Amino acid sequence: MSLAFVQSTAELPWPRGRFFRRRAVSLSSGSLASIGRNHVDRFEAIRTLLAAVDGGSLSAASRALRMPLPTVSRKVSELEAHLGTQIVVRTNRKLLLTDAGQAFVQASRRILADLEEAERSAAGEYREPRGDLLVTAPIAFGKLHVLPAVLDFLRAYPQVDVRLVLTDSVVDLIDNHVDLAVRLGRLPDSGLIALRVGEVHRITCASPAYLAARGVPATPADLADHDCLAFEGLQTSRSWTFGHDPDNPVVFRPRLGVSTAEALIEAAASGLGIARMMSYQAADAIRAGRLVPILRDHVPDPVPVHLVHAGLPLLPLKLRAFRDFALPRVKAALADLPR
């Protein structure tokens, strides 16, 4: 068990014709081994091609696979020679697929997906929870509420290893072979399976000392007379919306703008001004009395939280086990958050 932080079957164009049939009736053990190696090499060449296509260049595939660039180029060329057609057009800036290449890449993705499915089945992933599991979650939410579930899961399932990737970017589950993702916010229509585990809220709050000195705002309009703190990165955020009037945001000039929730909490708790953050980010400071929620009658709409995974015809037991293990724990954590 380990944890690391940080995705209809078409036929491959195997050789056909009289030469192939004639060889097939007189195979020695050495010949069988050679054909087996050729097939393994072909799968490796296809994986190399897909890495180049996904990365946009042979150099990107070289970096992703940690393979020398000449080797990447040779494997793609050998694959084209085997197929007897050009798959890619190499330019100075990027790799372009020919028409034949587009059809071949599409079929190859299906083939490799079926191969990986067969490997998981042979390895016993459908008989007992075992193997590697890739999970993604937003950074702060994942640290606070997903990591504890992962640690308990690893203790309960020693045959499963987990890689937990914490990122605020939306990761494509299929292209990146992600088993399960925790998503905050409304989900677009897709073929993915989404299980709602609860919701989080945007909370407006300030320190007791600040409210004692400057007064407690009764309505969002009162924020014009207060110092506000903003959670922002390179893009500035200078307005907040509220539940009863979402079409008329409150615009303000931030006294301080910071790019992490931890810095925002510390600034607000120090008495510098009023801040808005997610309920799971503010929970510990509110429980400790360092921050006090305000404008509770004007909270924005809640933000839904889902566990999302691909709609597989047969769910690997490692994924089913983690989903069923994590869901009630995350749900209980969300139910205990301030509003």
Looking at the fold, whether 238 and 153 belong to one and the same domain comes out as: no
The pLDDT tens digits of the residues spanning 83-129 come to: 888 888 887 677 888 888 888 888 888 887 777 766 666 655 556 78
Q: What is the pLDDT of residue 138?
A: 93
Looking at the fold, whether 230 and 264 belong to one and the same domain comes out as: yes
CB-based contact 42:79 (threshold 8 Å): yes
Looking at the fold, whether 280 and 255 belong to one and the same domain comes out as: yes
Report the alpha-carbon distance of residue 80 to residue 21 in Å, rounded. Answer: 22
Looking at the fold, whether 99 and 239 belong to one and the same domain comes out as: no
Q: Which tops the pLDDT comparison, 233 or 277?
A: 277
Give the confidence band of 24 by pLDDT, cuts at 50, 70, 90.
very low
Looking at the fold, whether 68 and 155 belong to one and the same domain comes out as: no
Query: Quick check: is 233 in a domain?
Result: yes
Helices 69-83 and 29-55 sit at what angle, rounded to 10 degrees?
A: 110
Query: Quick check: is 85 in a domain?
Result: yes
Q: Which tops the pLDDT comparison, 96 or 10?
A: 96
Query: Quick check: is 36 in a domain?
Result: yes
Q: What is the pLDDT of residue 32?
A: 35
Q: What is the pLDDT of residue 120?
A: 62
**Is residue 34 scored above 60 in pLDDT?**
no
Residue 335 one-letter amino acid:
A
The radius of gyration of the chain from alpha carbons, rounded to an integer in Å, stands at 27
Total domain count, the chain: 3
Q: Which tops the pLDDT comparison, 79 or 270?
A: 270
Last residue of a domain, one of 89, 122, 155: 122
The pLDDT tens digits of the residues spanning 49-88 come to: 888 888 888 888 888 888 888 888 898 888 888 888 888 8
For residue 274, with 0-12 CB atoms within 10 Å meaning exposed, 13-18 middle and 19 or more buried, which class applies?
buried
Helix, strand, coil % (nearest 5) of the chain? 45, 20, 35
Provide the CATH number for the domain around residue 249: 3.40.190.10
Provide the CATH number for the domain around residue 101: 1.10.10.10
Last residue of a domain, one of 93, 122, 151: 122
Q: What is the pLDDT of residue 117?
A: 67
Looking at the fold, whether 189 and 212 belong to one and the same domain comes out as: no
Q: Where are the beta strands (DSSP E) in 119-232?
A: 131-137, 160-166, 180-184, 193-200, 202-206, 228-231
Average pLDDT value over all residues in the chain: 82
Query: Quick check: is 10 in a domain?
Result: no
Residue 268 main-chain phi, psi, to 5 deg: -65, -40
Cβ neighbours of 129 (radius 10 Å):
22
* Distance (Å) of CA 272 to CA 104, 217, 253, 254: 60, 15, 14, 11
Looking at the fold, whether 174 and 311 belong to one and the same domain comes out as: yes
Query: Of 168, 136, 203, 175, whose CA–CA distance to 337 is shortest?
Result: 203
Residue 165 one-letter amino acid:
V
Looking at the fold, whether 217 and 275 belong to one and the same domain comes out as: yes
Looking at the fold, whether 282 and 293 belong to one and the same domain comes out as: yes
Query: Quick check: is 13 in a domain?
Result: no
CB-based contact 196:39 (threshold 8 Å): no
Q: What is the pLDDT of residue 275?
A: 95
Query: Quick check: is 9 in a domain?
Result: no
Query: Quick check: is 1 in a domain?
Result: no
Looking at the fold, whether 107 and 28 belong to one and the same domain comes out as: yes
Looking at the fold, whether 53 and 97 belong to one and the same domain comes out as: yes
Looking at the fold, whether 182 and 238 belong to one and the same domain comes out as: no
Last residue of a domain, one of 79, 103, 122: 122
Query: Quick check: is 100 in a domain?
Result: yes
Q: What is the pLDDT of residue 119?
A: 67
Q: What is the pLDDT of residue 129?
A: 82
Residue 57 one-letter amino acid:
S
Domain region containing 194: 131-201+304-335
Q: What is the pLDDT of residue 272?
A: 96
The pLDDT tens digits of the residues spanning 174-192 come to: 888 899 999 999 988 777 8
| Strand 256-258, strand 131-137: pairing | unpaired
